[in-house]
A and B are shown apart, each in its own frame.
Chain A
């Protein structure tokens, strides 16, 4: 956004002086936090063994541990990592590995501390992982929707609206025609949701690609329209239909895989859009990065004029990519109203589209890393819910549920602030293209 090079010019400090860059800042934070953990938090924890499980009860596979010991070990790792960042360039590799290990320790640490601070004795961590994947599903799909658009050079801030709109329309069809009773109409409604996403994306393409309106404004318009439109839909069509909730998609046990002990019944017994998400991510990667069509899409996102001089129709390519993105967003919408809820509420996507964008940026506009970003948010959401259930108390202060609910948003800000300076968007992302005449 214009002022980009303002930040780009902040360069490493003068040679010769002791360096205190980004690495050292992070190191210092880790070291201080590790010291706080080891010398302040751990001594105050109760001396009670806790456990993590990997199966639902009864008689689950269990791993017990002393939370004080685990927390102390992690604390020492943090301190070691922090110190290593200050030991000069020769230990820089060590410091980098330390940072990776330490960062990977954050999630286990939170679980361990939460267990230690609550009255509950154990918690199922495998289920937590599966829950993360499940809650990350619409975000990953939203990120793929954004990926398709932005790889073609169209910023899509309207993912949220596309998801919400298709969730609403999909359920409206399901409620009115399908009467919410599952079966074929459920599948048709999912298809309708997908197509609705495509239609809304078509609007985005018309406004942003053909009329060359500012793409961010176009996206905001879509979000507003979806909000008003689905509210209207709900009060005028869904509520009068009398079907406020319907049967949602049922779980499918993947043949073979679902028979694996422990994992099978939890990971490979899920609902269809959950599985479809993995397929969409893989296909997005394959098409965008392995096929001629993908090469053309990316060319339009990097240097549309160059693409045009080679006879590629930039406008058509951008339309196609934006609509494909919309279809994917439509699937994400179906996840809300037809796979999870079996119903529609106003603003039920509640900002997931924006989190998807953050995941995309975090993933540097690449499918698999964007997927990882989405799962990070899925995890922070699942963890928030889990911790809320555990009822964590620090002293007499029970941590309010709002704190846990805000976790994904806080993580988004941290991720965007931490990642974007180094992430490189497609060069022509956001630039309207006018065909030469």
Chain B
């Protein structure tokens, strides 16, 4: 921070309000970023963090309030204005073009040319400079779609540095990283600060805040509820501030009483859409009355594994047995009829039909059975009765059962899916990323329901990228690494460190207790 003036913030947000139709996403937000600091923006999903940084980056226009960069008021009409003012952003959902090379992605928008022709040599040189200066290596000529998630994130960072950003906004940068990669990433962040950059770090993970932040601003319901130095902050105090009430970290959960195996997967091999074998020699057993948590960084075959078990995808090798029936080549409906509930990871794409009513969505998998249908005819009365019953039982907050699911909040949409899949009296429950993007209240509710199912003797296969979720719910834990199950132990033996190592390297020896 050589010579940086501590009193003039590099970035200052004053009284910013941003409204979307029907929703105030930011209300009178004040926020400042001092030179050379890491300032964490902490808040639940939907607290308005992303909206705030999108305003700062010129993607949204604020309804009220102003933004000052190095003391000067600015008005960004587009992100190019923000980029010109020295602001760079690493988006939560990478803004990369998969079929372009790294260099093309980096240069896009600030192209250099030789005559009429695009000149990438200059870009390659600059990328080499950035690599030596900040220690962030990327291959300029690799296609982005061939890179790992961690590498793609580096490209995002390099994009900002290439534009000589002094202020870096990192929106949930760790969501896609393994615990090991997260530590590495924190190293990069510290290095950037040492080079004089100032960083806004957005997260909802308390542990990360304490590890990386200099100062913390907590957002709740679109407002700032507090700004403080990291010294003196604890996980509990931040959590209470973030949620607005006392947060219970542990959910009461008795010991599991496992019964017979309900799901038995042996030597499973599955191809993904591109024909790459993403699940390989995978074997596992899930018994009645237990929750098996499958941890792992996303993209290690979770999607294909879940789809294969649910009958959505035909495995090319191995065998799947559910409740004693061979379901390896069965259709999704056949699998469901054996008593399998499935909460898919992509809520909007796979879980609900947004334009349909809550009632229709609640019978989406059973609409063809009595009493919801008689032969080919729908029985709307039975469907409505069912809907009323489930809306009540699962506390779905809605003005009525005819409301399109699109009009519900994310938490209530997920409750619709949970209600549908849990109420069919399943023997096996496949749950993928059940609480992604939800608020704490909904997370608690859904976790309780899953434990309830276990206690009723349902076998639960939980696939989640959130280690915390796995550790909260699972009775046994496995790690999916490059399509293989690389470790499987009881919850008691599954420490965060051990799982983290397995997720990162897939190596058991590295994970063995020293």
By the criterion CB–CB under 8 Å, are A12 and B97 in contact?
Answer: no
The interface residues of chain B lying within 8 Å CB-to-CB of A437 are: 60-61
Assembled-state Cα–Cα distance A5/B100 (Å): 23
Q: What is the CA–CA distance of A296 and B79 in the complex, to the nearest angstrom?
A: 15
Of B113-121, B280-288, B333-341, B452-460, the segment with at least 4 beta carbons within 8 Å of chain A is B113-121
With A14-B317, A291-B117 in contact, is A299–B79 under 8 Å at CB? no
Closest Cβ of chain A to B179, distance in Å, is: 28
- Distance in angstroms from B64 CB to nearest chain A CB is 15
A306 within 8 A of B: yes
Q: Is the CB of B109 within 8 A of A12?
A: no
Which residues of chain A from 6 to 43 have a CB within 8 Å of any chain B CB? Answer: 8-9, 11-12, 14-15
Given A292-B113, A309-B57, A310-B83: A299 touches B317 (CB 8 Å cut-off): no
In the complex, the answer to whether A299 meets B97 with C-beta atoms within 8 Å is yes
Q: Which residues of B contact A303 (CB under 8 A)?
A: 95-98
A381 to B98, CA, bound (A): 38
On whether the beta carbons of B78 and A291 are closer than 8 Å, the reply is no
Cβ contact within 8 Å between B118 and A296: no
Residues of B contacting A: mostly: loop
Say whether A307 faces chain B, with CB atoms less than 8 Å apart: yes
Expressed in whole angstroms, the minimum distance between the Cβ of B168 and any Cβ of chain A is 14
CB-CB under 8 A for A307 and B109, given A436-B54, A436-B59: yes
Query: Which of A8, A302, A309 makes the CB contact (< 8 A) with B91?
Result: A309
Q: Are B83 and A311 in contact (CB under 8 A)?
A: yes
Residue of A nearest to B96 (CB): A306
Give the residues in chain A near B312, CB-CB below 8 Å: 9
* Chain A 271-306 interface residues, beta-carbon cutoff 8 Å to B: 290-292, 294-296, 298-299, 302-303, 305-306
Q: A9-B313, A305-B95 are in contact. Are A311 and B109 (CB under 8 A)?
A: yes
Contact A295 B111 (CB under 8 A): yes
Given contacts A11-B275, A302-B100, contact A309 B89 (CB under 8 A): yes
Among B80, B96, B105, B273, which residue has its beta carbon within 8 angstroms of that of A311?
Answer: B80
With an 8 Å Cβ cutoff, the count of chain A residues facing the other chain is 29
Contact of B60 with A290 in the complex, beta carbons under 8 Å? no
**Are A9 and B99 neighbours in the complex by a CB distance under 8 Å?**
no
Distance in Å: Cβ of B333 to nearest Cβ of chain A: 15
Contacts A11-B275, A15-B317, A292-B111; A309 near B95 (Cβ below 8 A): yes
CB-based contact A302/B275 at 8 Å = no
Report if A308 contacts B (CB, 8 A): yes
Q: Which residues of B contact A9 (CB under 8 A)?
A: 273, 312-314
A5, A291, A436: which contacts B118 (Cβ < 8 A)? Answer: A291
Chain A residues with CB under 8 A of B61: 437
- On whether A292 and B118 interact (CB within 8 A), knowing A306-B97, A309-B57, A312-B109, the answer reads yes
Query: C-beta contact mask, B64-92 vs A, less than 8 Å → 1, else 0?
Result: 00000000000000111101000001010
Does B108 touch A at the CB level, under 8 Å? yes
B275 engages A310 (CB within 8 Å): no
Instruction: Tell me the complex Cα distance, A5–B98, Å.
Output: 18
Cβ–Cβ < 8 Å partners of B273 in chain A: 5, 8-9
Within 8 A of B (CB), among A306-322: 306-313
CB closest chain-A residue, reference B113: A292
State in angstroms the CA–CA spacing of A309 and B78 once bound together: 8
Distance (Å) between the CB of B141 and the closest chain A CB?
15
Is B109's CB under 8 angstroms from A310's CB?
yes
Docked Cα-Cα span, A22 to B54, in Å, equals 48
Contact B98 A427 (CB under 8 A): yes
A-contacting residues, B98-139, CB 8 Å:
98-100, 104-105, 107-111, 113, 116-118
Question: Chain A residues near B91 (CB, 8 Å)?
Answer: 309
List the A side residues contacting B97 at CB < 8 Å. 298-299, 302-303, 306-307
- B271 touches A (CB below 8 Å): yes
Q: Do A302 and B79 touch across chains, with their CB atoms under 8 A apart?
A: no
Residues of B close to A292: CB separation below 8 A: 111, 113, 118
Residues in chain B near residue A14, CB distance under 8 A: 316-317
Q: How far is the CA of A295 from the CA of B117 in the complex (A)?
A: 11
A16 nearest in chain B by CB position: B317
In the complex, residue of chain A having the shortest beta-carbon distance to the beta carbon of B99: A302
**A244-291 contacts to B (CB < 8 Å):** 290-291
Are the CB atoms of A11 and B316 closer together than 8 Å? yes
Tell me the bound Cα distance from A296 to B109 in angstroms: 7
Residue among A8, A292, A436, A437 having the largest count of chain B Cβ atoms under 10 Å? A292
Q: How far is the CB of B343 from chain A (nearest CB, A)?
A: 19
User: B275 touching A12 by the CB < 8 A rule?
Assistant: yes
- The distance from the CB of A315 to the nearest CB of chain B, in whole angstroms, is 11
Please, which residues of chain A bring their CB within 8 A of the CB of B60? Answer: 436-437
B49 to chain A, nearest CB (A): 16
Name the CB-closest residue of B to A308: B79
8 Å CB interface, B306-329 against A: 312-314, 316-317
User: Which residues does chain A contribute within 8 Å of B271, judged by CB atoms?
Assistant: 11-12
Task: For B313, give the chain A residue with the smallest CB separation.
Answer: A9
Report A10 CB to chain B, min CB distance, Å: 9
Bound together, the chains give a CA A5 to CA B272 distance in angstroms of: 11
Please indicate the chain A residues that have their CB under 8 angstroms from the CB of B54 in the complex. 436
Q: Which residue of B lies closest to A426 (CB)?
A: B99
Query: Per-residue 0/1 for B161-172: is the Cβ within 8 Å of any A Cβ (1 yes, 0 no)?
Result: 000000000000
**Chain A residue nearest to B57 in the complex (CB):** A309
Tell me, rounded to whole Å, the shortest Cβ–Cβ distance linking B251 to chain A.
36
Taking a contact as CB atoms under 8 Å apart, the answer to whether A302 and B98 are in contact is yes
Shortest Cβ gap from A160 to chain B (Å): 29
Q: Interface readout for B20-62 with A: 1 if CB under 8 Å, 0 if not?
A: 0000000000000000000000000000000000100101110
Q: Is the CB of B98 within 8 A of A295?
A: no
By CB atoms of chain A within 10 A, which of B80, B83, B89, B313 has the most? B80
Residue numbers in B under 8 Å from A291 (CB-CB)? 113, 116-118
**Pair A299/B78 contact, Cβ less than 8 Å:** no
Contact with B along A398-437 (1 / 0, CB 8 A): 0000000000000000000000000000010000000011
Q: How far is the CA of A305 from the CA of B271 in the complex (A)?
A: 30
Evaluate whether A296 and B108 lie within 8 angstroms (CB atoms) in the complex, with A11-B271, A290-B117, A311-B80 already known.
Answer: yes
- Cα A71 to Cα B424 with chains together (Å): 65
Measured between alpha carbons, how far is A302 from B116 in the docked complex, in Å?
Answer: 23
Q: Complex Cα distance A294/B107, Å?
A: 13
Q: Contact between B316 and A12 (Cβ–Cβ < 8 Å)?
A: yes
How close is B454's CB to chain A, nearest CB, in angstroms?
Answer: 31
In the complex, what residues of A have CB within 8 A of residue B105's CB? 306
Closest to A302 in B: B97
Q: Is the CB of B108 within 8 A of A295?
A: yes
In angstroms, Cα B273 to Cα A5, docked, is 8
Q: Give chain B residues whose Cβ lies under 8 Å from the Cβ of A307.
A: 97, 108-109
- Nearest B residue to A313 via CB reads B78
B316 touches A15 (CB 8 A): yes
Which residues on A sit within 8 Å (CB–CB) of B104?
295
Residues in B with CB closer than 8 Å to A302 are: 97-100
Nearest A-chain residue to B273, judged by Cβ? A8
Distance in Å: Cβ of B75 to nearest Cβ of chain A: 14
In the bound complex, residues from chain A placing their C-beta under 8 Å from that of B313 are 9
Complex-state Cα separation, A194 to B407, whole angstroms: 46
Contact of A299 among B108, B110, B316 (CB under 8 A): B108
**23 A–B contacts from the bound complex (CB under 8 Å):** A8-B273, A9-B314, A11-B275, A14-B317, A15-B316, A291-B118, A292-B113, A295-B118, A298-B100, A299-B97, A302-B97, A302-B99, A303-B95, A306-B97, A307-B97, A307-B109, A308-B78, A310-B79, A310-B110, A311-B79, A313-B78, A427-B98, A437-B60
**Closest CB pairs A-B (n = 9):** A311-B80, A310-B109, A292-B111, A306-B95, A309-B95, A302-B97, A436-B59, A303-B97, A8-B273
Besides A291-B113, A291-B116, A303-B98, 20 other A-B contacts (C-beta < 8 A): A9-B312, A9-B313, A11-B271, A11-B316, A294-B118, A295-B108, A296-B109, A299-B100, A303-B97, A306-B95, A306-B96, A307-B109, A310-B110, A311-B78, A311-B79, A311-B109, A313-B78, A436-B54, A437-B60, A437-B61
Q: Which residues of B contact A (CB under 8 A)?
A: 54, 57, 59-61, 78-81, 83, 89, 91, 94-100, 104-105, 107-111, 113, 116-118, 159, 271, 273, 275, 312-314, 316-317
